[in-house]
Each structure stands twice: as C-alpha cells, then as structure tokens.
A and B are shown apart, each in its own frame.
Chain A
Amino acid sequence: MSIDKDEIYEDLDWVAAFKKGENPELPFTKIVKKYQEKLYWHIRRLVVEHENANDVMQNTFIKVWKNLSEFREDSKLYTWLYRIATNESLTFLANQKKKASLSIDHEVLDLSNKIKAESNFDGQKLEWKLQLAIQKLPEKQRAVFNLRYYDEMPYAEISAILETSEGALKANYHHAVKKIEQYILNHID
C-alpha cells in the first residue's frame, strides 16, 4: 500500500480540523470513510470471523476518536491507524486464547475451523489453502505477512506499526513465507 503526499496532507488537514474541535465529527467521518475498508480487511484477516472483525474495528475507531487529539503529526495517520487496529486485533486474539484456556471447547480458538465455516469456502482452491496456512502462523508473524503481502507495505511502515526493527521483520516475513510454502506442499491433493 502506498499513500502519496497529497493524501498525507489531506490526513493532516483532517487531524488539524479535528483538533480544532469546532465540528470534529466531520473530519472524523472522513477518516473513517477513507480507512474503514483497509482496516476492516486487515483486522478480518487476523481474527477471521466477520462479527469479531466488526467488534474490533469499532473499538479501533473508538480509540481513534478518543486519542486523535493527541496524535502527533511526526508519524503518518494511516500507520497510526494500522497500529491501533493491529494492537486491538492481537489483544482480541489474546483474550480469546485466555477464554479458550478456561473453556472445555478448544475449538473456539481454532481459526482454521472458522475459515472452513466461511460460506464460500472451497478447500480445493489454493487461495483458501493460503488462508489456512496463514492462520497456522504465530500471531505477530501473521500480522507481518499480511501487512507485507496484502497491504503491500514497505518494511519501514510495518516497523512503525509493529514497533519492530526492519531486520527482524524481514526475517519474520521470510520464515512466514517458508512455513506457508511447507503447509501448501503438505496439503496439495
């Protein structure tokens, strides 16, 4: 994903308008409309189910609303938004894990089953196999792969979002792709 300078200035204008506080819902709505879909899919790929993605995205934007006046213009708005969305998603998954550890029903945690429950799931398709392979990755590695592969982010931006060094991210991405490859090789009919 690349955002040009005009878009960055547009974002900064909206942030400035929001901070002015005269009619904050207008710039806030513009920000939501601009980024809702990107953030939704980023969250959805991490938590899989629509209902959960919806909850996490709502919490993400509520946090944005509450903290936008504190946003510092030395970082890009969209990396800040992605950071909140990623943290919310990982927190959600961690909470799910805690709940599952207390529950007899360990299926709650199995994201693969949730993928297979998607209405248009087709296990023969490589695209779905890829999704199943991604869910086998550790959560942070999954986030790295998704941000690089789907959101096409430079490592510098992923680094700003995940607060991890670029070198570590490159290694993470490499391992993730290798694991995915192995999974697909093991599941070719």
Chain B
Amino acid sequence: MNQENQILEELQEISPLVSNIPRTTPYVIDSDYFANVPATLYGITEVKNPYTVSADYFQNFAASIYKKCKEADENNSAPTLDLLKQNPFNLPENYFEQFEAQLQNQLKGNKRQGLLARIGPWKYWSAAASIIGIIGFSVFAFLNAGSQKEEWKTSWFEAKKIMNEGNLESEFNSINAEEMAAYLTEQGHDVDAAVTACIAEDSDLEDGLFDIENEKGIEAFLNNTNLELN
C-alpha cells in the first residue's frame, strides 16, 4: 500500500466525514505556475490547495535568495525578515563617515566666531596698541641697534606702509588673536584684564558706557582697565 492510500485509509478510520471532503476544487492556480514541478512530487496537493500566488513568484526566487545569502555573508549579519526590504531614502555617499568631521568643523567654526565676537570690542584699542608698539619698537631699534640696522629698517618701513595705505583693519584681521595676546603680554599689557572687561561689556555694561571707537574712548578704556601703553 502506498503512502497516499495509507493516509487516506487512516483518515477514513478516524473521520469518514473529513476523508470524504471532495478532492476536486474550484481554486484557481495558474496552470503554468507549477509547470516545472513533476506532478508526482506534488500529488493531490495541487487540487487540495486553495491558496494562490502570483504567476512569476517562483521564477526568480533562487537567484534572489542566493543574492541575499551573499549579502548576508558579506555583512556577516544574522538574516532578518527585512533583509530584502529596501530603504527608499537616499543619503549622500560616505555621509556618515564625513558627518563627524563636518560636525567637528562646524563646532570649531562656531567657537572661533564666538571668540572673535567676544574680543571684537577691544580690537580697536589693541590694534592701535600693536601698531604704536611696532612703530615705537622700530624707532627704538633703528636708533639703538646699529649692527641690525637693516632688519629694523624693514620693520619700520612695514609699519609706515600700513599707516600710509590706511589698511589698518585688514592688517589687524590677519593677525592671529593668540599671537596678538602674546605680543601684548610681552609688551607688558594686562590682556586678561582687557578680555574680562570686554566680556563684562557684552553681558553687564550698558551700551555707550564707553565708546572705544574713538581716541577718547580708547584712553578711557585703558584708564579703566589700568592698562598702559609703552
């Protein structure tokens, strides 16, 4: 007795009703759908199955599975139900690799801008002090350092050129804030006090309490912060 008959006989013994459920069925299954499957492998299931699938479902299945397996191997990741689900959104290439660097740059940029904004109010007096210092030092060097005359001369002409061309602000802007602070400190100015005063101006002092955009303002500011020019 073959397996099919054995199962039917067993079923009849348990439940004649269930075993007599008609085998012919109106279920629609594309006749080409199972064309490649030997009928013997599927037996009576073909007529018993009420479910349907699309006609081309099995055609590319093997290739699709193989592709996913290779991807899973390459990613060394556990397979999931979502493996074939595609993300519809696009990202620029290497977005996440570059994101951190971009973020760092942005943070650095903001930091620099903040510093400049904070030192802005004292840039005029410090620029003036720098130029005066350069000029004074150049003159002093010119008069006292005979053996290094040529070098001091260059400094003098540079200072004079800046004064004549009236590009004080652009020259000043090209000077690094740290270098300027170091230079002023070297020349005996209390830079910390000046910066503190500027921060205080930003946050505490009323507008117009002192005007540092003119000569009197600079003098008043220097007097208030106990700064002296050489």
Q: Point out the residue from A33, A118, A185 that lies within 8 Å of B17, measured CB to CB.
A: A185
Q: Hey, which chain A residues are within 8 Å of B34, CB to CB?
A: 37
**B101 CB, min distance to chain A CBs, angstroms:** 36
Interface residues of A in 130-189 (CB under 8 A from B): 130-131, 148-154, 173-174, 177-178, 180-181, 184-185
Known: A28-B66, A41-B45, A62-B79. A127 touches B72 (CB 8 A): no
B: contact size bracket? 35 or more
Q: Point out the residue from B4, B15, B58, B84 that lies within 8 Å of A152, measured CB to CB.
A: B4
Q: Are A50 and B51 in contact (CB under 8 A)?
A: yes
Q: Are B49 and A41 in contact (CB under 8 A)?
A: yes
B61 lies within 8 A of chain A by Cβ: yes
Per-position contact with A for B186-202: 1 when CB-CB < 8 Å, else 0? Answer: 00000000000000000
Q: Which residue of A lies closest to B61 (CB)?
A: A36
A38 lies within 8 A of chain B by Cβ: yes
A29 lies within 8 A of chain B by Cβ: yes
B175 lies within 8 A of chain A by Cβ: no
Q: Point out the residue from B15, B36, B50 that lies within 8 Å of A131, measured CB to CB.
A: B50
Per-position contact with A for B36-74: 1 when CB-CB < 8 Å, else 0? Answer: 110001110100111111000110011111101100100
Q: Point out the residue from B27, B43, B45, B62 that lies within 8 Å of A36, measured CB to CB.
A: B62
**B49 CB, min distance to chain A CBs, angstroms:** 6
Most chain A C-beta atoms within 10 Å of own C-beta, residue among B3, B52, B72, B83: B3
Q: Point out the residue from A40, A45, A119, A180 that lies within 8 Å of B18, measured CB to CB.
A: A180
Q: Point out the residue from B22, B51, B79 that lies within 8 Å of A63, measured CB to CB.
A: B79
Per-position contact with A for B14-37: 1 when CB-CB < 8 Å, else 0? Answer: 110110011001111000001011
Q: Point out the residue from A33, A65, A120, A126 that lies within 8 Å of B21, measured CB to CB.
A: A126
Q: Point out the residue from A33, A118, A177 that lies within 8 Å of B15, measured CB to CB.
A: A177
Q: Are A65 and B58 in contact (CB under 8 A)?
A: no
Q: Are B45 and A29 in contact (CB under 8 A)?
A: no
Given contacts A121-B50, A148-B7, 12 further A-B contacts (CB under 8 A): A1-B3, A28-B66, A29-B66, A41-B45, A119-B52, A120-B28, A122-B26, A150-B48, A152-B43, A177-B11, A181-B15, A184-B17
Q: A interface vs B, CB < 8 Å? A: 1-2, 25, 28-29, 32-33, 36-38, 40-41, 44-45, 50, 54-56, 58-59, 61-63, 65-66, 92, 118-122, 125-128, 130-131, 148-154, 173-174, 177-178, 180-181, 184-185
Write 28 A-B pairs (CB below 8 A) sorted by A numbering: A2-B3, A32-B61, A32-B62, A36-B62, A37-B34, A37-B37, A37-B42, A38-B41, A56-B81, A58-B65, A58-B81, A59-B79, A61-B65, A61-B69, A62-B65, A62-B79, A63-B79, A66-B69, A66-B72, A118-B52, A122-B26, A126-B21, A126-B22, A127-B22, A152-B43, A173-B14, A177-B14, A185-B17
